[in-house]
Structure 1
Amino acid sequence: MKRIILCFVLFTLWFDMQAQSNNTDIKGLISDIENNPIPGISVRIEGTSLGAASDVSGTFIIKNVPSGNYVLHITGIGYESLNESVIAKAGEVIQLNITLKAATTQLQAVEITGRKEITYRNDLSFIASKTASPLNEVPQAVSYVTKEIIADQQAYRTSDIVKNISGVNQFSFYDDFTLRGFRNNSSQSKMINGLRPVGIFGPQTLLSNIERFEVIKGPASALFANANPGGTINYVTKKPLSENRKAISFTTGSFNTFRANADFTGPMNESKSLLFRLNLGYEDADSFRDLQKNKSYMVAPSISFLPTEKTSINFDLVINQYQGKLDRGQPIFGASAGTGLNSTPTSFAIGQSNDYHTNNVKYFTISLNHAFSDKLSFNTSYMKFAWDEDLFEHRTSNNFAVDSLGNQIPTLMEMQVINRVRKRVSDNITSYFAATANTGAVTHNLVAGFDYIQQLQPIGGGQSRARRYRTVDGGAGNYRASNASQFLFQNSLPVPNVPHFDLQNPRYTVAYPHEYIFNEKQSFSATKYYTYGFYIQDQIEFKNLKILLALRQENYRDVVNFETSDEETVKQDKLLPRFGMVYKLTDYLNVYGTYTESFQPQSASVLQNPNVGGPFDPLSANMIEFGAKSELFKGLLSTNLAFYQIEQNNILVNGNSPGNPDLLEQRGQERARGIELDVIGNIASNFSITANYAYNKAEITKSDDENEIGRIKENAPEHQGGFWAKYTIDKGVLDGVGIAFGTNFVTERNTFDTFREVNGSPLGLTLPSYMVFDAALYYKVNKFNISANFNNLFDKTHWVGGYSYTRLFPGAPRSFLLNVAYTF
């Protein structure tokens, strides 16, 4: 019996070995259209239980496949499914190279799972039409910067990356930019994942959790309520991935810079229905500016839950703190001194050693997408955003000191001290249905929804201010030579409440509040505004033509004297249309045209002041834009060419009434006309590029003051542009070595002092044009990546923005950053 069993076992083993020798192994490499390997892709043989998943290098292997004809079903979140036919022959090894395209209509109308690509390009936008739309099918210019560009340039804040986008330039050091010639420094034109945060006119937050930075050019009120006519900025946060990716990096460099980043993502269970992502960021750095430094950190966890194929949910939490000083810019000598921009060094800042500024930002987001069927889905997102600040600063009063006759002393800066504590909270919800329907040969993609936004400033904030000149009765006030007897004098000069800052002999000390007279104390009242809108949109598709029709009814409410017995609601309403067309000329070239409008409500304080006149209509703007979008190098390189005109009306100006200095009039028009070109993507799999150019003429076209007509708006350059290119050697002894080079330029810009007159003498402060060059070196070996970035290679002195002689914003001199990153 034992011999019989032994023979049976030996025969079974022999038969199995013979069977396996007649079987086939199927191997393959899965990559995207830019030849980047894609991990986590499922490969299954239809009708069998055989299959495998691609690893971190994009490779897979299915062993011991019996001879026969099969179909491989290849699927992965974020990519279009693919079927591949194979013929398995005994003893052969099948080697496949499979290319997957990013899905353009899959899963989410709300961005819930992350972007898997690791390239400069991005094919989709959620900001342009509320749902996932291919960028080349959007009838409006949309520019972006992906996390890969942010990493390659070692950018850490928004001001570091706007140079990559046509028509956008800095206005100051704050979260403050010019878009197509119109200033954008409020929450009305900033979004996080398409939801509106609190406007923070101060330090810029870290980019550690940002997947991409987007700008939809021109008015976007038909999408997002009251908005800036130049464009809307959207920050897309990193979302979880269905594959394991982990990365850490450490950076040091000029100005005592120390940074650390971490990014961990992957599935939390075997079914991959629960995904997580955790982004961490830290910076402790000085600045090329005197006294300035900052210490910031960010903690940003995110979880995506995919309980069924039809439902997906995402939770985001971001906690960000900034500690430093508020940089109010570089003062230079007054115009009468005749020494211009170089009268003080660009490092020169005003303040005292114990000034401080602490900002805390927290926001929570939840998004839900549920598909009732292949043709109908419901989407909703909610964000709670909270911001608070604690500020103590010595800063300019935006004036020069005066002598006993009231004449300006151009080398002495009049100062003030501000101590401020405040908080703001916003709630933002957007909900809509998305449906697909056909009427004959015409396809309709319908969106209908509702938005609600509110912002509150709770009771508890306040500000104390010390400034002006000491009076003989122990107070402080505005000095006039006609009432000089009311003021104290020292060395024949009126005594300032806060000591003047000597621009020729600066002196920094530790100063304290008890040294000043804080006679301006303000308790911030509780405030509230809210706005809600209903909208409908139809994207109509017929053969090569796509038409977008949209209409929004916006209702803006400003609550005056909130939570008091005199509470009153000020109403401003607007019907906002949007119309666009895209025509597909070839597989790689689309042309488009669009018309859209925007509005910005007048502030309640203006509307409620009986002395200003009125009533006043909201600021309104409209835009006409035409352009072309193309895909070059077999779709690897995207280009967008845009021609546009934007007109803004209903601008409030002073009524010039001698008997009523508060009187305002609504007149005037501002117009911007321009051309923009954006190029981004790959020329080859190892050669990435982003380039942009903008011509823009933003001017005053209508005014009762004839001297204003034709005047170019402040910080609106006529020309700007630049490029960044990265080439990586992928073979030979230098395999893994990369080099990058870039430049950006901005032409001359006006400031607020360019046309202002003081004592009858015109001031002519303009900011000169500049061109700055950057470069970088990279070396990647196994999972390590070492990079060195060199910014402003030729140490060009330049100014990125400015207000006046008292507040200019210089660009950084030559500097370097050294980064070491590890992926595992």
Structure 2
Amino acid sequence: MVLKQILKILLVTSSIWFCLTISATAQQVQDKSANAKVLRNSKVIKEIPRLSEIELTNTNAQQLLVQSPAPPNTPTPEVVQVTAVKANPTTKGVEVILQTTKGEQLQVTNRSTGNNFIADIPNAQLRLPNGDGFTFRSEKPLGGITEITVTNFDGNTIRVIVMGEALVPIVELYDSPNEGLIFSVASTAPTQQAQPQTQQPQTQQPENQTQPTQPSASGDEPIELVVTGEQDGYNSSDASTATKTDTPLRDIPQSIQVIPRQVIEDQNAVRLTDIVRNVSGVALSQTAGDRAEIYTIRGFDANVYKNGFLDSGEASRGFRDSANIERVEVLKGPASVLFGRLEPSGIINLVTKKPLAEPYYNLSFTVGSYSFYRPTLDFSSPLTQDGKLGYRLNIAYENSGSFRDFVHKERFFVAPVLSWKIGDKTNLTLEGEYLHTENPYDDGLYLIGGTIIPNIPISRNLNDPRSRFVIDQSKTYLTLNHEFNQNLSLRTAFRVTTASETQNRFSLRGFAASNDGTVDLTSTAYNQYFETYFLQNDLTAKFKTGSINHTLLFGVELGKLYGRFLYNLADAGSSNIFNPVYNFSYGPYRRFVDRAQNSDSFGVYLQDQIGVFDNLKLLVGGRFDTYYQETPNFLNASTTVTDNDAFSPRVGVVYQPTKEISLFANYSRSFVPMSGSSKNGDAFVPERGTGYEVGIKGDFLNGRLSSTLALYTVTKTNVSTEDPSDRNFQIQVGEQRARGIELDIAGEILSGWKVIASYAYTDAEVTQDNTYPVGNALRGIPRHSGSLWTTYTFQKGILEGFGFGGGIFAATEAYGEIDNLYTVPGYVRTDAVIFYKKDRLRASVNFKNLFDVKSFDGSTGGVVDPADPFTVQGTISWEL
């Protein structure tokens, strides 16, 4: 322990030295204009100059267009940050402003095709206060214009698309030193064309040219469309989970999928289980008596994170609520390099909603089958006139019955957020969560000889109708983001959680039924209490070595966990799956668990994202972790100690032969601490995971549709198995392996037609063991699984605003346990939705499991968890 403490002190001391060194280096490479005021979208700017009021530095769009790429030896220019996207009406149409103080550095390449004006702005990136890379979209802003979008096409390019309905749009570009780059879009509606105007006829323009028009002022009050982090599509351009920096997905050498808010709303996904079913390779392993979700990714158990903090085990109890989830990011493969102790599966990271720049008030109410009622509210607004202080509040209440006998559920969830912009370069966010839930303990359906009895209804519940468990938990996050300059930034985040879980004496637990259907039951009454404390510090520095770009991340994480466990056990007689009885007699209780748990973790990591060329990027990183845990057992006055450390590297490469295609490969490792020792007294070492992955990412249809195809193999070693010389002990010679192919697609095929789909082939098996036969499949892993969800919204005419959609979710059978004695059947489930969205009103009806297919949400110990049968849920929401 003394050695560990000395190591921690040395590492913390070296980190301080490293921060000072990087700060000095970054200051040297800081742009000379860093003292210039950079506009930030911290408050709504109501007065924006019209085009006629701006002194134009370029009066012809051709002067801004790039005809050919720069010479090979030209130094890589600075990536200009666009801090806001705004739109104002003019007498002829609308002006779209990409707000930046360095607009004179921007150039534009015309990639127009057909009726679409497409402009790429290299060496530029959207950097917005409420989420980098989120798409600005304005549907039908003008006559003859279907849509205007502005998005990050890749890490160094912004793409502007103006979609013409029948004719090529008329677009003129301007460069304003005060506002940035301005796209003036004129209406091409036939009624407006017929009016006398001082503009040239609308004809198809040649490559790298746009049609000039004469700007004029408008007497209308200006309107503003601000990008606030909300998305209305299925396709996301970037994610922070894989690198802890805002990196475009196409530049990440690892498979990562993002489920945005729009998918969650369209599917009316209340539980995380319904969200992640859209991602390849993710499976629900079990529900722990209908108490929580336990997932697998690529064959191994997966942890859930929230805003980059561990949200599984001691850190979170019960089912997670979707009310405050903005998006879900699923990173696949070993991820210990940034997140510490993990199985080699990956993580599911939940990104929560943050305060918006403009007032937003949404009330929603859902009613459904089995007496399901769920009102929610989502409010956000600046609290001060200058917009520097803002809030967001999400509240959800749920009261429901179930298709299962004697099951009634109630939960209350509230999540307030305060965001304070202390200065131009400093933001402080305080975020809280509180969850109260009351459920009966529900073991599921019992098996006979590893077989699901077909004539037993899925509603049958052998538990005492008085069964109940109660969860109360709170989470508090405090995050400080500070930019020292444009090259150096610091994120410091602290999170504390508390949770209590209590189960009453009427909650019964059994095991597999005997041949005549008898199930012996026990009553388990318990109390559990948890506390966790985590502190993260991430320093990000951007600099160059010659012509090579670097984004260097240096991080330190400290964690402390505490748990207290009291379990009492009593015999509760028996029941029968064919003829259940509910008149239980409880025997005397005996204490069989009385222990505590104290854990301390420390991790330090370094990562470098290297831009060798514009189309060749490297990712190199490593992390060193120490983990120490004491588990005192008060029943026998003993203490178990776990003292592990591990180094976890990651190396990845991305090569982009074209703007639309990214080829990637990576190697990474993970670790999980292990307690105990072998027969000769040697302490167990951590389990280790090793992953290799290659794949291809593609962007199609002008960036509206993205896909990822990945091929991987993951191996876990140091798995504990029986000691052949003495079965009372174990040795760490076991090995398990998973390999497979995954495909994910998401985006918009045509205007109004959105799709998200996945497929996974997973071969997960035991490759070395003394307990289980080599070749046995790992538990709960279907060999084939996939999903397809699509919606269409009518864009015009009498049906404008109406939409419909549907999806198929399927999986083949999976073994219920690693001994492979029984299987959980496969399934094909069909969902559907019809909806209407007009102005502030949105109404929808979701049909889940449309054909009432019998399926199961995992299993454990000879019991399977039946999934919901056919259900209907109707939702109506109103924005105030």
TM-score by length of 1: 0.80
> What is the aligned partner in structure 2 of residue 237 from structure 1?
352
1:617 to 675, 682, 685: 685
Q: Which runs of 5+ in 2 are unaligned?
A: 1-42, 56-84, 101-127, 134-157, 159-178, 185-211
Pick one of 845, 853, 856 that aligns with 1:796: 853
Q: Conserved in 1, the CA contact under 8 Å of 2:536 and 2:555?
A: yes
Q: Is the 8 A contact 1:197 1:385 kept in 2?
A: no
Of 653, 657, 669, the residue aligned with 1:597 is 669
Change in 2 beyond 3 A, CA 1:97/1:550: farther
Which moves more between the two structures, 354-363 or 199-208? 199-208
User: What is the 5 A alignment of 1:26-425?
Assistant: 44-45=48-49, 60-61=88-89, 74=99, 77=129, 78=131, 82-84=180-182, 115-173=229-287, 174-184=292-302, 189-197=303-311, 199=313, 203-334=318-449, 340-392=452-504, 393-400=506-513, 408-425=514-531
In structure 1, what is the equivalent of residue 823 of structure 2?
Answer: 766
> CA 1:47 to 1:94, structure 2 compared with 1: closer, same or farther past 3 Å?
closer
- Root mean square deviation of aligned Cα: 3.2
Q: 2:770 and 2:515 mapped to 1: Cα distance?
A: 34
* Aligned 8 A contact 1:678 1:693 in 2: yes
Structure 2: distance between partners of 1:71 and 1:252: 41
Deviations 1:550-591 (A, max 9, x none): 011111111243999987854211111110011111111111
Match of 2:561 among 443, 455, 458: 455
- How far residue 352 of structure 1 moved from its aligned partner, in angstroms, is 0.8
Residues 643, 98 of structure 1: CA spacing in aligned structure 2 closer, same or farther, 3 A cutoff? farther
Specify the alignment match of 1:7 in structure 2.
none
Distance in 2 between residues matched to 1:204 and 1:647, nearest whole Å = 30
Could you tell me which amino acid in structure 1 is paired with residue 541 of structure 2? A
Q: Give ranges in structure 1 of 5+ residues lacking alignment.
A: 1-38, 52-56, 65-69, 103-113, 401-407, 468-497, 756-763
CA distance in structure 2 between the aligned counterparts of 1:99 and 1:630, rounded to whole angstroms = 33
Match of residue 23 from structure 1:
none
1:560 and 1:567 in contact (8 A); partners too: yes
Deviation for aligned residue 1:252:
0.6
Match of 1:746 in 2: 811
- Counterparts in 2 of 1:330 and 1:340: CA distance versus 1, 3 Å: closer
Matched, 1:637 2:750: no
Counterpart selection for 1:464 from 554, 568, 571? 568
Indicate the SS of the match to 1:668: strand
Question: 1:578 maps to which residue?
Answer: 650
SS of 2:434's equivalent in the other structure is: strand
Q: Deviations over 1:133-192 (max 9, x none)?
A: 1111111111222221111111111122221010011111231112111123xxxx2211
Partner of 2:28: none
Return the match for 2:607 from 504, 524, 537.
537
Give SS of 1:148's match. Answer: helix
Give the distance between the partners of 1:589 and 1:94, measured in 2 at CA.
46
CA distance in 2, matches of 1:587, 1:45: 35
Q: Is the 8 A contact 1:196 1:453 kept in 2?
A: no
Contact 1:294 1:325 (8 Å CA) reproduced: yes
CA distance in 1, matches of 2:271, 2:229: 21
The answer for the alignment partner of 2:574 in structure 1 is 500
Closer/same/farther in 2, CA of residues 96 and 598 from structure 1, 3 Å limit: farther
After superposition, what is the alpha-carbon deviation per residue over 1:66-88, rounded to whole angstroms, capped at 9, x for unaligned?
Answer: xxxx9966366457785117699
Q: Secondary structure at the match of 1:151?
A: helix
C-alpha separation between the residues in 1 aligned to 2:222 and 2:785? 43
Aligned partner (choices 753, 757, 761) of residue 687 of structure 1: 753
The answer to whether the 8 Å contact 2:231/2:260 transfers is: no
What is the DSSP-based 3-state SS (H/G/I as helix, E as strand, rest coil) of the residue aligned with 1:161?
helix
TM-score of the aligned structures, taking structure 2 as reference length: 0.75
Identity over the aligned pairs, expressed in percent? 28
What amino acid sits opposite 1:534 in the alignment?
V
Q: Does 1:722 align with 2:787?
A: yes
Counterpart residue type for residue 807 of structure 2 = G
Aligned to 2:535: 429
Contact 1:699 1:711 in 2 (8 A): yes
119-128 or 532-541, larger mean C-alpha shift: 119-128
User: How many angstroms does 1:507 deviate by?
Assistant: 2.3
User: SS of the counterpart of 1:820?
Assistant: strand
- Equivalent residue letter for 2:311: P
User: Comparing 249-258 with 341-350, which one deviates more in the overlay?
Assistant: 341-350
SS of match in other structure, 1:284:
strand
Match of 1:713 in 2: 778
- C-alpha distance 697-85 of structure 1, shift in aligned 2 (>3 A): closer
Q: Which digits, 9 at most, give the CA deviation of each residue in 1:190-238, with x for residues without a partner?
A: 2110012351686312111111122110110011110011111111111
* Deviation (angstroms), 1:601: 0.6
Q: Tell me the amino acid that sits aligned with residue 682 of structure 2.
A: G
Q: CA deviation at 1:546?
A: 0.7
1:414-438 deviation line (CA, Å, top 9, x unaligned):
1000111110010111102110111
Shift of 1:598: 0.2
Instruction: Sort the Cα spacing of 1:584 and 1:664 in 2 relative to 1 into closer, same or farther, 3 A.
Output: same
Letter in 2 for 1:426: T
Count of residue pairs the alignment pairs up: 700
Distance across 2 between alignment mates of 1:96 and 1:711: 70
Deviation, 1:327, is 2.0
Q: Secondary structure at the residue paired with 1:585?
A: coil
**How many angstroms apart in 2 are the aligned matches of 1:373 and 1:721?**
45
State the distance in 2 between where 1:41 and 1:685 align. Answer: 30
- Confirm whether residue 787 of structure 1 aligns to residue 844 of structure 2: yes
Q: 3-state DSSP class of the match of 1:730? A: coil
Q: Secondary structure at 1:813's aligned position in 2?
A: coil
- SS of the aligned residue for 2:277 comes to helix
CA deviations 1:91-149 (Å, max 9, x no partner) are 765999999997xxxxxxxxxxx623232222221111111111111111112222211
Q: Which digits, 9 at most, give the CA deviation of each residue in 1:379-426, with x for residues without a partner?
A: 1111101111110243233254xxxxxxx5541001000111110010
- After TM superposition, the structure 1 stretch with the greater mean CA deviation from structure 2, 326-335 or 592-601, is 326-335
Matched, 1:818 2:874: yes
Q: CA offset at residue 58 of structure 1?
A: 7.7
